[in-house]
Structure 1
Amino acid sequence: MLHQIIGQAEKHPSLIPLLVFIGAGGTGAGLYLLHLALFNPDVSWDRKNHPDPWNKLGPDDQYKFYSVNVDHSKLKKEGPHF
């Protein structure tokens, strides 16, 4: 398969930027999925010792990758403390 891609890139050099962009996009998507798997509080890798990691989040903890116009340090907790 890689041989076919290289052959097409040699025949049509205008495809090279497209192939680079698709390869970089796949890498970025893979890194984002890795970030979600490692740092998302909804994911629990150790169910025996740490079954509910989402219960230990405070109201000012930022767990999203990017938040638009939200200052997490000034949020107040609404609701009961578990």
Structure 2
Amino acid sequence: MIKTMIQHAKKHPGLIPQFFFTTVGLTGATFYLIRLARGPHVTFWDKKKNPEPWNNLDPTYQYKLLAITTDYKSLKKDGPDF
């Protein structure tokens, strides 16, 4: 793959910045995902020592869930009454 990139870069020098920034972006994204996977709250990687990681969290821990509360009585009807 690198050999073909070098061949393309020799034929089209304008592609060199594109190859450079794409490589830097992919490398940065990879390291970022590795950093997230090794974070302090990620305990589910070790299933032998901690088979139920959700039991170790504090009851006030903010889970990454989306909760929308809507008062359904105040919603307007878009259709006719049958």
Q: TM-score range by the shorter chain?
A: 0.5 to 0.7
Aligned partner of 1:26: which letter?
Answer: L
Cα distance in 2 for residues equivalent to 1:43 and 1:22: 32
Matches within 5 A, 1:1-80: 1-39=1-39, 41-53=41-53, 56=56
Kindly name which structure, 1 or 2, has the bigger radius of gyration based on alpha carbons: 2
* Deviation by residue 1:3-24 (Cα, 9 ceiling, x = unmatched): 2110110111111011000000
* Deviation by residue 1:16-73 (Cα, 9 ceiling, x = unmatched): 011000000000110111011111624512223234555555669xxxxxxxxxxxxx
- Say which structure, 1 or 2, has more relative contact order (CA 8 Å, 6+ apart): 1
Aligned partner of 2:4: which letter?
Answer: Q
**What is the RMSD computed on CA atoms of the aligned residues?**
2.7
Structure 2 residue runs of 5 or longer lacking an equivalent are: 62-82
